[in-house]
Amino acid sequence: MPALSDEIRAKILAYIPRYPSKQAVTLPALHFVHDAMRCVSYEAIREIAEMLDLSPAQVHDTMTFYQFFREKNAPLGKTRLWVCRSLACSLRGGEDLLETFCQKLHVQPGGTTADGKITLEFAECLGACEGAPAVMVNDEHRHCVSDVDAVIREAQG
C-alpha cells in the first residue's frame, strides 16, 4: 500500500514543471507530505525519491538538514506552537514564556501533549522582533504574548 495519497502525488507532480530539474522539487514534496501527515515516514521518503529520481538517502538528507520535518516515530500534534528564543524575545520574557508553556502543557520543547493536540517547540528566531516576545501557532504569528492560557486555548482549537 502506498504511503502517499493520490492527492499528494498529484501535487508533487504538478510542481515538477516549475523547476529546472525534478530533484529541485524535494523540499516542496517534503512539505506536502509533512503538512498532510504531520510527519514524513520512511515509506514516504522512498516514494518521493522514486518520483524525483533520487535515492532515499538524498531525500532523507534534505529532510534532516532543515530540522523542520518530523519523522514517523515523533509526529507533530494537530497544532505546532513555536516560542521564539531570539535575543529580542529573550530580553522581553521569551525564555520565561517558554518555561510557562512547558509547565502548563506538561511537555518539554520538542514534545507533544498527551492528547496529541499541541507540539511545543522553540525557534531561534521567528523574525518578529518588533512584537517580542513572539510565538507562532502553526503558520500564524502572535506578537507581545503575555496571555499563555489564551494561546493554549487557540492552539487546542
Picking from 75, 82, 117, the residue whose alpha carbon sits closest to that of residue 97 is: 82
Q: Which of these three, 66, 96, 117, is where a domain ends? A: 66
pLDDT digits (tens, 9 = 90+) for 117-148: 999 999 988 999 999 999 999 989 999 999 99
The pLDDT of residue 112 = 94
In this prediction, residue 93 carries a pLDDT of 95
**Residue 74 located in a structural domain:** no
The amino acid present at 18, given as its one-letter code, is R
Strands 140-142 and 135-137: antiparallel
Tens digits of residue pLDDT in 69-91: 888 888 889 999 999 999 999 99
Domain with 55, as residue range(s), is 6-66
Model confidence pLDDT, tens digit, residues 35-55: 999 899 999 999 999 999 999
